[in-house]
Structure 1
């Protein structure tokens, strides 16, 4: 196995105290001790769906379907897909035998996977660390592990005083157009006409709100907090007034980049949504996105790491070390050129209060290893 390792990382190996300026990826042989919660069934589900996306081939989505860049350590792209297939093969075999999953056995993991320890890009983190204590305190051997969640919201079929903001479907003037055709018309189509702040301002007036509704279909109406949660997380699960539960996922955006120096509510990036049958992760367009599940999914820089990487995380939870296998099956605007952070899908919550209650015992940093099935695997 060959990994391209930055010169800065190689140099630090000679020092007695490790300081990683650039991201570093180095082979490892063993895994530190800790508890291993068993979510192997959900892990296999996400691995299977991600593998199906990878099977479409690099020509379908070259930005995501690859074996990593120089900075992230190149590997043959086929090994990522083979690793995901192996995860499901082990799970299926264990389930058929009615035995405890070997995917929570560290000895099995060490025997059957090549482990590569990931040290964060401290230089990249430092460049964005103003007023961000977690980045300022980023350890040399751990990633920043933020947690995202699927927003549970209460929706209305029409605009009300308490729910004045819509999740809009794709504007009518590009309905039926492929993404490439629509993007070629960005100077004339509705999607590129406004930033988020302008849309929110227009919704305050009945006439202008009606004009917006004629340009793009309102799928459901929300309060401001639920709107911001949906835009930030990319997904909303909405309980309608009639008792139905509906799922919405981002479809296409207005072309404005996410600005990591601004608060979420101040952003100009704006997403149009699509109603979907369940919670979805990455996909280059809404026509095909990867179904994901909590606890086993992470979002990160797929453009450097490659979609579908199997990542082992070791976190501190209530003062105890916990290890989890996860699949890199999602991304976001904050993960362009970001090799110091992962975002863990923690669960489904109504808001920050519920989220914090469920996650306050979990640490903000995690050790991380990239795993690949060994090319010569011992007998299972």
Structure 2
């Protein structure tokens, strides 16, 4: 039996995370698995109100004993100080558990009016180093100001971190179309981004069955706009990956269909790419697809880690049901449809029943 954490988060989180829970329950039942044991845990505004912090220590302790968890979006920009100026809950969780791989697929679904039809790629983002200073130090923010008019941030790249994210990308490519594109800026950042490129190229030698090429980050944005369907797996450092995955999500149709997981070798967290959309909170207008598909990715990760056919079958049921729901013309407003959060979720659950 799977034990999974539930962290609703802020804004639309308390609507889309329960939607994903409902879909996972339906898929696991259809796949013949035992019911999931869901463990609700406080995070975000609700945790500030009850515990005085957006991420209580008890939550981190409980997460360590679970198979994985679903994390809703957070609205840390609206948190009261001192919480607003500190590392946000998802960043703290990633850092605490060493979730070094952020896997962000972008897939265009039939019926969603994708901006670039046929887009089907994955951004594999290194999640612990690079140009995001809050991930580069054991303690502290990684930014400092020697004078009021000068601000400095560390950009750190290590062979060990690049090697492990490169292996993630090449292993993933073997399950897809066997092509990896390394995205970098080594022509200008010759030491830092240059190390990323060189080490990825070295790792590529261990995967002779996977084609590899590389692109500069600025050129990559143009290539994606012109010919996104030609790309398969993109591997890059964290800031480039963050930017590219938002772009590829929109090319596929909407951030509302952009799932992700953050993972290490031992743990994984499902977390939609999009934010908390506080203007949509409580309106039944949010698109739950990204959170639902993120939950499916978590099931797939658990299946691979434990060599368990049940979560793999459940993940495939969810992916098929979401595609069928879009194909049938059921979509939320961000995709040009009229369905609400609950209606879309119900349609996916019904599609799982039909598929099973």
Both structures adopt the same fold (TM-score exceeding 0.5): no
Q: TM-score, normalised by structure 2?
A: 0.29
Whose helix fraction is larger, Structure 1's or Structure 2's? 2
Larger C-alpha radius of gyration, 1 or 2?
Answer: 1
